[in-house]
Structure 1
């Protein structure tokens, strides 16, 4: 009993010391906290609070017309045990994220690294060329023309002219091709914010670090990249990873524009399109919140794993 009491006293003293340190820190940097208060207030109000509310609502039945009714784990059990379409969407989303996430991340860095070697004018022009697809808006009609299911589609016309095929392929109506096409279009659109962040990070690296590395035994560009460039860009690498992970897990617009909604045999159905189905069409908000919670946990887990991997860069 005495030991437990002493442990309790120690824990209470530790909590009091942490609280006192926090109060002292606030008093010392009160101007900084005042300046940050508006942002944190808005962040909590429009980001943190909706996430918390969504998690709570996921344990209820809520159809937007009646008050939420508590159902416990029923929505999650229905997701994994009864909803076959969700399991298809989950498989497609993981496959999509596993392929497009790393490829788009590597492509963003490689293109940024290559473009950074050019003169400022050429670099600015190439940056605009590579970044343009991500800000061009709804230009999916270009890919709809390319993969049109008749002989006038560019893909079919090219393959028929070469004699590879003898009749048009229904690219967007065949489950064998739909997901691959959506992935390809997403990769084409992926040179966005992360790409610009990498270029900015490369521009801000201190050139003297490379001179010091040469003195310390760095012999080639690959060693420069691993021991100097990447460690100097850890903040941009982390930011780019978060952006690309979010994009790869939250794909919906590309899938709906290219493959339709719903896609043929749900071949390009993703977790987000499933969320849109139940949240925006059926208005089963409790079930939609459960889908959103699963997606949130998937993103958080992947981000934590990526952070651990990026900490090892340059070691």
Structure 2
């Protein structure tokens, strides 16, 4: 009996020693410490040159700062002046939203449509057509061509063509007429918009696993439109989200095209945008507090638009 008790005592499991446990987040960070070490240099630079400037800009937006005197705290005065007293800003934000709602979706769809069509070509022709469509976005002094086309004299290509065909009797000042200048700038922006998003869509279409189409045919996918909705778009959702961010950012940040074609400022502020308004107060008047308020409002608009578009794109293929 005594031997049986001794054996039972020997077989009983001994309690494991209690070790101090880390919080779940710190424990995961410890397991992935090599990844964090590799990410460290980028995260430091990202914090120093992106996160910190944005935070400082938001802080400066509550001050009066002219680069010569120490910033003076003014609270919400810059924002009340911006939204309630600045008539030019209201024109600029109206033009910016018009740019975003017209050029943003149209250029986004055009990027995907051209990428989808070019992807069906042979490799050599596809490479050539990709270069043709992408070239305008990286070309320098490209606005010179459009300035010649819409020149206000009879030597401008558009005026010359319309006068030769009898539609007009005298030249039209296209870039000095507030009825036309905004739409001309939109046209040029659409022409320049086949850039990074276009290449991202080409890459996304090339990375789709071809066996998905075979599986789709077995599951009942019968035509190209069903392939597009149920296979192609869900498979390249990361590229679609990336393209949406790029297009939204570029459509809200239009300034270079407007300045090159319509001047700075444009006639009756017809092509004035939020970014050109920001450049006016930040680079010319050096009212950095007010310029930071403009930048903060624009930043909030961009973030909200990106969140909305990404929420809509997550439903693609459902």
- Same fold? TM cut 0.5: yes
After the TM superposition, which segments of 4 or more aligned residues of structure 1 sit over 3 Å from their partners?
none
1:33 equivalent to 2:47? Answer no
Alignment partner, residue 137 of structure 2: 134
1:113 equivalent to 2:88? Answer no
Q: Deviations over 1:77-101 (max 9, x none)?
A: 0001111000000000000100000
The normalised TM-score by structure 2 is 0.93
Alignment partner, residue 180 of structure 2: 177
Q: Which of 150, 155, 176 is the matching residue for 2:153?
A: 150
Partners of 2:259 and 2:297 in 1: CA distance? 21
Partners of 2:40 and 2:97 in 1: CA distance? 38
The normalised TM-score by structure 1 is 0.94
Alignment partner, residue 166 of structure 2: 163
Alignment partner, residue 13 of structure 1: none
Alignment partner, residue 4 of structure 1: none
Alignment partner, residue 5 of structure 2: none
Alignment partner, residue 222 of structure 1: 225
| Larger-gyration structure (1/2) | 2
- The structure with the largest helix share of the pair is 1
1:294 equivalent to 2:292? Answer no
2:49 match: secondary structure: helix
Alignment partner, residue 14 of structure 2: none
Alignment of 1:30-109 (within 5 A): 30-109=33-112
Cα-Cα RMSD: 0.8
Q: Deviations over 1:235-282 (max 9, x none)?
A: 000000000000000000000000000000000000000000000000
Give the Å deviation of 1:138: 2.4
Partners of 2:142 and 2:204 in 1: CA distance? 29
Alignment partner, residue 270 of structure 2: 267
Alignment partner, residue 12 of structure 1: none
